[in-house]
Amino acid sequence: MKNPLSYFEKLLNQTQEKVKVEYMSNMSEFVPVESKDYDKGIIKYYSMIYDINTDSGIEVLHTFKFLEAFYNDIKKENFKSLELIKNDILEITKGGNSPQYYIKELEQRLDKLKVSAKNNFPDYPKLAEEIEKLKSNITGNQFVVLKSSKRPVGIQNYYEDSFSWSKGNTDEEKIDYIKRFYRLLTERKIIISTEEDFINAFTQRNIDKGISWQLKCRNSTHIRSIFYFINKLEEELFIDEIENKDFGRKIHYVFRNYEGNQISKSSIKASLSDFRKDIQTSSFSDRIDEMISQIKQPN
């Protein structure tokens, strides 16, 4: 994949003065300059054009305006970047993968570029505006990937009620993330599960015994902490977005209580109603936040 933001990243490694000098110098090399006003960014030059009335060439005075040329180039590059991003997203989704992680990464890079534009190009505010426009286009409706009712390509033992992992650019990277979560959750005695079942639960596959959730409150499984964990994975783009109507069903399929038994649908429904009123789950939310923060750090 080509880097769709390379133009803006290279541009913002320079100062606004250097860019202006380059534009003015390049233009001066190719035209017979009549006059040049560097402060205003204007070059006046003559060029020959054909006059149909006299059937001959005549000299005409033209005006080159740096700011106009600079902003036109930015708009063209914005369009090119958007086209590259569209192509990248199409490639990612061809195999049934989600582009959420890719889009999130682009958003973060564009946020940094916007800050650089404001700091390094304070006299040219339209640069920051174009970067913000590009970000808005990326997160706009044209990039919403609708869930398909068809079975995703390449998934053996597929089951739609398992979760779909998103973070990572390759299958190997995704499995590595899932294994890291598995190790942390088991080391901290938050779950009991086989590694195979845990991987299957987050790669849209059938599971065997499920994931036994060990966090308890008053001698019963703390179901709301399961909701918080899955909601946080979704929020941090580790897993694909889950529609509200599917959330409880997926929890019911994948998770078990601390004794390894299936959690009743009525318990999930009641706890989910409370959870949506207040997402925080006291000390458990802090433990889950800390663990996810650790996973986000490079290996």
48 versus 187: the higher-pLDDT residue is 187
Is 288:228 a contact under the CB 8 Å cutoff? yes
Cα distance between residue 260 and residue 192, in whole Å:
8
**Please, which pLDDT band fits residue 154 given cuts at 50, 70 and 90?**
very low
* CA-closest candidate to residue 228, choices 287, 269, 169, 187: 287
Rounded CA-CA distance 95/170 in Å is 11
* pLDDT confidence band for 147 (50 / 70 / 90): very low
pTM: 0.53
With left for phi above 0 and alpha for psi between -120 and 50, is residue 165 left, alpha or beta? beta
Other CB atoms closer than 10 Å to residue 76's CB: what's the count? 11
> How far from 209 is each of 38, 68, 199, 228, CA to CA, in Å?
74, 65, 13, 22
How far is 39 from 273, CA to CA, in rounded Å?
Answer: 64
Specify the residue for token string 């995703």.
Answer: 152
Confidence of residue 136 (pLDDT cuts 50, 70, 90): confident
Q: Could you tell me the end-to-end alpha-carbon distance of the chain, in angstroms, rounded to an integer?
A: 24
Q: What are the beta bridge partners of residue 63? A: 44
Mean pLDDT of the chain: 86
pLDDT over threshold 80, residue 277: no
Pairing state between β 220-221 and 255-256: unpaired
